Amino acid sequence: MQRICFVLKVRRDRLEEYKRRHREVWPEMLQALRETGWHNYSLFLREDGLLVGYLETPDFEKARAGMAAREVNARWQAEMAPFFEQIEGQRPDEAMRPLEEVFHLD
């Protein structure tokens, strides 16, 4: 199982709306994430907009490709793109760059 951690930057003026949207993730989006191998997926948001994501998956590239093929993901990413800084024309899921894991206790 791969452990994946990534960071993105949410616009400060959109923080509350971003949090609200994630309290109301569409059921079909949640189902698609589960079906494509996104496990133990969590997002953490700092008050300055730093977003830290974490998930576990057997194969991150396969999980990303599985979501990229889903219509619900295209809709979700289009709605969420305006919330982010510095994604330069990419969808938020395309801008995810896994951080290198340098230590794991277990």
Q: Which run of H or E residues covers position 43?
A: strand 39-45
Catalytic residue, candidates 19, 22, 34, 46: 22
Q: Which residues pair with 44 in a beta bridge?
A: 52
22 is an active site residue: yes
Instruction: List the structure tokens of 45.
Output: 């948001």
Active site residues: 22
